[in-house]
Structure 1
Amino acid sequence: MIQRYRVLGQVVPEEERLQPLLAEAYARKLPVLCECRPGTELPLYIAHRNERYVLARWPGSGARHATACDHYEAPDHLTGMGQVRGSAVIDDEKSGETSLKLGFPLSRGAARLAPAALTNDKPTVKSTGQKLTMRGLLHVLWDRAELTHWHPKMAGKRSWFIVRRALVEAATGCKAKQEALPHMLFVPETFRLEDKEDIRARRRAALERVYRSPDEMMVVIGEIKEIVPGHGAERIVLRHVGDMPFVMNPDMARRFHKRFAGELALWQAQDSVRGNDGHLVIAGSFARRRQGTFDLVEVALMPVTGEWMPYETSDERYLIARAVADKRRFVKGLRVNLDAEAPIASLVLKDTGEQATAIHIHDRDTEAGEPLEALLASEGVAHVFWKEGEALPQRVARPRRGPAPKQEQVLA
């Protein structure tokens, strides 16, 4: 399907000549409509990023787009986004700004120097969805960055440079605790030896908040390189910032390994998975001590495949690998604040025709509980159980549309 948009009264394909039209529409604050479903009004908003104008769907509207459309998104009720949308994640359709309610602090006094809970995954936070846990924040940003989306043309093109750029762009337009989220988010820049000093200078500027006061905290999102013991504590070393280790005291290290035993085991097993060069992503709040070291406070870990697609189990990792190898187009479901027992769709295939197909990894021989039955009864998508070794639902050829309609007069 050729992606087309209605902008300034013209229907145009997504190509270079769209940029000047978007620039004018952006300046005049005029809407853009996606033409994936003729006769259905699907507004998009324009963002100015990296000297280009980018079209993005309004949050929560992705399921209304055609499955073959680049702006299609899995329905919220199939993932953890349904629990937090409108409560912990509040979208302003007029301004395009998103307010995030966080369930963890970003400043600390004497009482917070040694956190009582490592991940803030408290029952009151998980069950209501009123505030985002650290994992919830990571999943929301991953979703907004569309790092949950995959199509065959992406193969071999996702690097940390691309992931970082998408995350930084996703944070733009978000605020938390009455501040712009980018001011409190640190995502390490790709290290290049020839630019070492310039990168250090930019990093120092980005960390101004925690350098200003030991009571201020920020959130880091990065890839773990190694976890090493050192002088009675443990250090988490991230790629691209090897000279900036994050320190855990013995008590926190003990709780860290207990809480994230499953995620660490999946990460360690990646080396034995043929053809899988996966990663382990960390999100964590941190502060800087006066001595110059950095302390982690709240933490979340997320194993991802070589394509930077999150997964929770070895079965899900295999499912993603199978979908990528079969050159399928899909969206990965994320749990956000939901606990491990809550059912979600692992993948939503976008290439199964007019109706997308949700893939569930559950033992079909086990009686489905009420939450799963309710999920399977939901409309808008087909539902399929899947086990390792089984084929995925058949792909349906993407619809081809004829020539674009004759262009209308540009609106004055």
Structure 2
Amino acid sequence: MLYIPESFRADHKDEIAQRRMAKMMPIVSVEGKVRRLMLMIAEVKEFAPSKYGHKLIVKHVPDFHFMISDDLYRRLVKRFELEIGLANATPGSHLIAIATFGIGSTGVASIEEISLMCVNDNWIPFETMYDQMLLTTLVDQSRHFVKSMRYNLPSTSPLACAVLTDIGKSLVAAYIMQPGASNDYLTAVDALISGSDLQAWKWEPGNGAPIPTLPFPGLSNENDDE
């Protein structure tokens, strides 16, 4: 019941359409039977107005669109305003959608629920432009790291942007102090650092400082405070 669009090729568009139709046929609504849904993971090409509402156009599927009700579209734009804004403002970024959808007896696909995630040109998730700057630096320096994921943690809770894994036997959590962060947030970061076994590295872009030098790969920095 998972649908991930295959790469589009104009010279094979008919075959691709047939395979897509065969994949989705089991969830087509039948009167008197329970409505079935399919889970889709795909890259958003655009949200576009349709004749009587809105639709989602996903990459690699130019000839098949997913309808979105007006109510769902309003909630989508409000809930994922930051992710949509980041994708619009960051060159090379991608907006990933995970959605459930059904197909009516007419063959029209309609989105039931949807969530969005912004990833950079290396397909690494990021939450802010500062995250993106640090991730770009880590990739450019060929560093080894694990990207921290927020999952159900609220945006008001501190979270390391990434954990560096190439510092000898040590692990270093990289924190970004967001400009304008409240004193409560900063206190929570300090508490998180003091209660962790990981070393900490911090960057405060709000004071105009460039990204501080990252711990040198291959060496332990156990005596460093940050």
Give TM-score, length-normalised by structure 1. Answer: 0.47
Partner residue, 2:10: 193
Residue 67 of structure 2 corresponds to residue 224 of structure 1: no
Q: How does 1:259-408 map to 2 (within 5 A)?
A: 259-270=79-90, 276-363=91-178, 367=183, 369=185, 371-388=188-205, 389-397=210-218
Q: Secondary structure at the match of 2:118?
A: strand
- Counterpart Cα distance in 1 of 2:86 and 2:44: 13
Give TM-score, length-normalised by structure 2. Answer: 0.83
Amino acid at match of 1:387: E
**Structure 1 residue runs of 4+, over 3 Å off?**
363-374
- Counterpart Cα distance in 2 of 1:278 and 1:302: 11
Q: Secondary structure at the match of 2:212?
A: coil
Contact residue 232 and residue 250 of structure 1 kept, 8 A: no
Amino acid at match of 2:214: P
- Counterpart Cα distance in 1 of 2:147 and 2:43: 19
Contact residue 29 and residue 103 of structure 2 kept, 8 A: no
Contact residue 29 and residue 104 of structure 2 kept, 8 A: no
- Counterpart Cα distance in 2 of 1:237 and 1:278: 17
- Counterpart Cα distance in 1 of 2:192 and 2:184: 10
TM-superposed deviation, 1:362: 1.8
Q: How does 1:77-226 map to 2 (within 5 A)?
A: 184-211=1-28, 213=30, 215-226=35-46
Between 261-270 and 368-377, report the one with greater CA deviation: 368-377
Q: Secondary structure at the match of 2:135?
A: helix
- Counterpart Cα distance in 2 of 1:295 and 1:229: 14
Amino acid at match of 1:188: P
- Counterpart Cα distance in 2 of 1:192 and 1:238: 15
Q: How many residues end up aligned between the 2 structures?
A: 211
Contact residue 41 and residue 98 of structure 2 kept, 8 A: yes
Residue 69 of structure 2 corresponds to residue 254 of structure 1: no
Percent identity between the two aligned chains: 30
- Counterpart Cα distance in 1 of 2:197 and 2:24: 44
Amino acid at match of 2:26: R
- Counterpart Cα distance in 2 of 1:341 and 1:309: 21
Stretches of structure 1 that go unaligned for 5 or more consecutive residues are 1-183, 271-275, 399-412
Q: Secondary structure at the match of 1:350?
A: strand
TM-superposed deviation, 1:212: 5.9
- Counterpart Cα distance in 2 of 1:208 and 1:251: 27
Contact residue 134 and residue 211 of structure 2 kept, 8 A: no
TM-superposed deviation, 1:282: 0.7
Partner residue, 2:222: none
Comparing both structures, which one devotes a greater share of its residues to strand?
2
Amino acid at match of 2:3: F
Amino acid at match of 1:228: A
Do the aligned partners of residues 261 and 333 (structure 1) sit closer, same or farther apart at CA in structure 2, a change above 3 Å counting? same
Amino acid at match of 2:211: E
